[in-house]
Structure 1
Amino acid sequence: MNFSEKDILQIEEKGITSKEVEEQIEIFKRGNIKVDITEAATTGNGISKIESAEKHELIEFYDTEKDKHEILKFVPASGAASRMFKSLHNFADEFDPERHELREYIDGTGDKDLRHFFNHIEKLPFYEHALKKTRKNHSGYDDLSHDAQYKLLVKTILESDGLFLSNLPKGLVPFHKYGTHIATAFEEHLLEAAKYLEVNGVAKLHFTVAEGDKEKFQGEWKEIQERVEEKTGVKFEIEYSYQDPKTDTIAVNNDYEPFRTEEDDLFFRPGGHGALIENMNQLDEEIVFVKNIDNVVTEDALQNVVDHKKMLGGKLFQVQKKVFNYLEILEKGNVSSEKLNEIQAFLNDELFIKGSSNEDLFVEYLKEKLHRPLRVCGMVKNEGEPGGGPFLVKDKNGEISLQIIEGAQIDNDNPEQAKTAREATHFNPVDIVCSLKDHKGEAFDLHEYVDEEMSFIADKTKDGKPLKALERPGLWNGGMAKWNTIFVEVPVETFNPVKTVSDLLKESHQPR
């Protein structure tokens, strides 16, 4: 590929090389590689269902162990709220109260969420603020028809002379209205973290944010710090990071040539949440809980979430202890055949790693399989929510392991693969706890455990022209493909994402 001097300068400013860009272009030409799912992971076959007595034991074990570890909560929080308010933007642009009735407009869109929104609008945490602002901005508001009032109210929620909520990062949108205050998702993450992350009176959190949003989060923390620390009795250490520009990927046109802007510059796009493996790799902590910014609950429902977080953490400590013990035994040498068989049974039966090794290299094989980052992932019974699912997957070397797989990675043109995908009983709510250091306390280089072939090509547009975009292997998909994995069932009540503004009207987001 012949890049101009201007191109090479632009590439180097990203912190990457021309060779890396050429390798990305080759991935476009190769196309998406579909995974080979052998079975859906189900209860008793890849997913553990933990009964009440064991759950309490794991919670107690977590509470006993946690003070011996450096623990942090990692929250991907770079998402903007604009997508959350998409249907309201459409409404504000299209609805004319002088020409249509609201009911007719909603019937025409077929948008059930929008109907629910207007039927229960007064339950929104920011409704009273929006109403007050609308009346202030529009002196004749109370004399208008209901439909015209709704139009102005929505515009106030969205626009810069109103609340401008769709311009915020999602983490700073008001989510829950309490008697004394309104809480954002950011605040709810802090309250949750205080209940299971606190070590020596301190809870540590790391938010990955969009450039330009760090100051907004810091401003919110300044506003709420006194209230949150007083309520929890915990001090917080809060870190922020951005998605590194060197993780951006080149876009191409339909002829697989680099896509160029109207200024004839190469066009790079953010590499998706898989690029955050770079941010995670920079962490100093050993134990890291991962949870998305929009998945929070109200304070009255918090204990159930906390109990299950501790259960997952207790399971991680339990398995970690076993892995570290086996690695120490293997490194000492002269291991009995009975002990080797026990370790292989652990790999097969608890980590669901099914593979084979040359007999002469068997000890090295066991070491290599055990010496990996470890994650315990909560899985929720599938009730029609979108998201990846847990599967047993065969890699190109014939080894089978537990993986979280997105629908786009499955070869639905293959009847057997499509049938296996339909047998999935659970989905991934992104409720993960990770162990990032080995038995000697040394940090893993997480780049070594990414399956680069799980990158994903998507069709997008720029300036009205079609392009192909490359997303890096998803953070909990290909980004953690070579980790050791345990799946544990968690109740659906622990999963309360806010994808649209109407989700804030669900009972689970209405404080009691």
Structure 2
Amino acid sequence: MQFTEIDQHQILAQGATLEQVDEQIQHFVDNFPFLPVIKAATVGDGLIRVDEQALAGIVAGFDQKAPALSLLKFVPASGAATRMFKSLFAALEGKTDKSVEEFFTRLSDFAFYDALKGVSGEPNQHVLSALLTEEGLDYGNLPKGLLLFHRYPEGPRTPVEEHLVEGAAYANSNGRVRIHFTVSPEHRSRFEDLIERVQPDYEARLGVTFEITFSEQKKSTDTISVNPDNTPFRNADGSLLFRPAGHGALIENLNDIDADVVFIKNIDNVVPDALKEPTITYKKVLGSILLDIQQQIFRFQEILGDDMISEGYLAELDEFLRVTLCILPPDGFDTWLQDEKVEYFRRKLDRPLRACGMVQNVGEPGGGPFWAKNADGSVSLQIVESAQIDLNNPEQKQIFDQATHFNPVDLVCALKNREGEKYNLPAYRDPQTGFITAKSKDGKELKAQELPGLWNGAMADWNTVFVEVPLITFNPVKTVNDLLRKEHQPG
């Protein structure tokens, strides 16, 4: 692609390179390939179900190791709440439906009701304006993390505060609790103000010391937009249009984190204290399984460092990869020379590791657990979004329909190698797993590009284990009326 000198200056100022932008445009031309899935990961076949009798011992194992570890809770929190209030924005324009009727019928059940009481007796339009616009609470423009979600006798809590309470329960190492929120630049000061206001109270109440940090999606991860004919889309002033590239861009933020174990969970997936116990238990279960498998990996890596490796050890290692890490070697592996097998084992072991919680599929959208074929011919566990699967292919569609579970963004990650050095996480991304979406600007159609998603393509080349977790651990708030569900109401 030929760019003008002004274009080139803009690209470099963006923090990108000409090569990266050319590659992005080529993705628009070629489109991203589908990911070939082999089968759904199900209980006993790629998905671990923990015996309830073993839960206490597994949790105790994590609690025993936690004091010696650097733990951190990573919360993507930049998502705007605008879509939560879609029906209410329509009602503001005079278009009502059953969800709007339910909203007003149960208005007093919302945690933000007291903040609206001054206008609650007024016509509905006044209530909506006070809730959604900057004349009042401005909820229509704020990120979800800053909204009042849950009621307590001592006062309502935001999702940010719920994550503080959660973090103190499982991301706690000797009373030190580190939590990192990724936020949008325009709202960062509001998050910082909230933390400054509530942190002392939660530290006193929970008996911990919080270390709260923030980061923003890096400008360098924005991707170029194109016209329908794949030529660069230009703004009215002739400049190139770059757009934020989705949550996959956060792999760069995660890469800046220095911790042994990182818990990842979305900002809106929180519950009141009365329902937190299963979440806390299974976060520790995921952490315990992760650390146990990491120790096994380290042991095998030590063996692979020896000059002479017995056939028995290689057979044991082969079984570990196939059974525990669910990595099947490429076709013809049995005919490989021993040196080739050893190199393959070394490469597969020396990668970041994650344990992913999976809940039973109840029709919610989200990536599912599958066995999928990799570029090197091996097969491994992947979180796969429906857009990555060729649903027009009857065989692929059948496999997709056989998925019994989905990923509620519940991950525990180990980001360091045997020597305690951080992995360079972007190096383990599959660049062929991005997405192309249709958008518009100034009344003109355009195509935008999202980077490989944080928990699917951005972690495609990680060692992965899937663990079944209870459905009660997944309670996202997609619409304002979700806050009326019993899981979000006082116990």
TM bin, normalised by shorter chain, reads over 0.9
Residue 3 of structure 1 deviates from its aligned partner by 1.2
Structure 2 partner of 1:273 = 247
Aligned partner of residue 377 in structure 1, secondary structure: strand
Structure 2 partner of 1:58 = 58
- Percent identity (aligned): 46
Structure 2 partner of 1:163 = 137
Between 1:279-288 and 1:395-404, the stretch displaced more is 395-404
Relative to the length of structure 1, the TM-score reads 0.93
Q: Which amino acid aligns with 1:268?
A: F
CA distance in 1, matches of 2:250, 2:312: 41
Change (3 A) 1:340 1:32: same
Unmatched runs of 5 consecutive residues or more in structure 1? 96-104, 107-111, 136-140, 142-148
Aligned partner of residue 260 in structure 1, secondary structure: coil
Question: Are 2:278 and 2:470, in contact at CA under 8 Å, matched by a contact in 1?
Answer: no
CA distance in 2, matches of 1:290, 1:351: 20
Residue 202 of structure 1 deviates from its aligned partner by 1.0
CA distance in 2, matches of 1:401, 1:50: 21
Aligned ranges for residues 347-358 of structure 1 at < 5 Å?
A: 347-356=321-330, 357=333, 358=336
* 1:506 pairs with 2:485: yes
Structure 2 partner of 1:417 = 396
Residue 115 of structure 1 deviates from its aligned partner by 4.1
Residue 170 of structure 1 deviates from its aligned partner by 1.0
Relative to the length of structure 2, the TM-score reads 0.97
Aligned ranges for residues 94-243 of structure 1 at < 5 Å?
A: 94-95=94-95, 105-106=96-97, 112-133=98-119, 141=122, 149-243=123-217
Structure 2 partner of 1:67 = 67
Question: Are 2:372 and 2:382, in contact at CA under 8 Å, matched by a contact in 1?
Answer: yes
Residue 114 of structure 1 deviates from its aligned partner by 3.4
Residue 134 of structure 1 deviates from its aligned partner by 5.1
Question: Are 1:380 and 1:491, in contact at CA under 8 Å, matched by a contact in 2?
Answer: yes
Between 1:414-423 and 1:124-133, the stretch displaced more is 124-133
Structure 1 partner of 2:236 = 262
Which whole-Å deviations, capped at 9, do the CAs of 1:20-44 have from their partners, x for residues lacking one?
Answer: 2111100100012111011011111
Aligned residues: 486
Structure 2 partner of 1:29 = 29
Aligned ranges for residues 241-320 of structure 1 at < 5 Å?
A: 241-320=215-294
* 1:437 pairs with 2:416: yes
Change (3 A) 1:87 1:16: same
From 437, 447, 456, the equivalent of 1:477 is 456
Residue 263 of structure 1 deviates from its aligned partner by 1.3
Residue 133 of structure 1 deviates from its aligned partner by 4.1
Which whole-Å deviations, capped at 9, do the CAs of 1:275-304 have from their partners, x for residues lacking one?
Answer: 111111111112101000000010111122
From 326, 338, 346, the equivalent of 2:300 is 326
CA distance in 1, matches of 2:116, 2:348: 56
CA distance in 1, matches of 2:448, 2:350: 34
Which whole-Å deviations, capped at 9, do the CAs of 1:461-482 have from their partners, x for residues lacking one?
Answer: 1111111001000000100000
Structure 2 partner of 1:42 = 42
CA distance in 2, matches of 1:427, 1:511: 28
Which whole-Å deviations, capped at 9, do the CAs of 1:398-423 have from their partners, x for residues lacking one?
Answer: 21100000111110110110111000
CA distance in 2, matches of 1:333, 1:500: 59
Structure 2 partner of 1:341 = 315
* 1:449 pairs with 2:428: yes
Between 1:246-255 and 1:85-94, the stretch displaced more is 85-94
CA distance in 2, matches of 1:408, 1:327: 36
CA distance in 2, matches of 1:481, 1:364: 20
* 1:84 pairs with 2:84: yes
Question: Are 1:134 and 1:162, in contact at CA under 8 Å, matched by a contact in 2?
Answer: no
Question: Are 1:25 and 1:250, in contact at CA under 8 Å, matched by a contact in 2?
Answer: yes
Q: Which amino acid aligns with 1:122?
A: S
Q: Which amino acid aligns with 1:429?
A: P
Q: Which amino acid aligns with 1:438?
A: N
Aligned partner of residue 444 in structure 1, secondary structure: coil
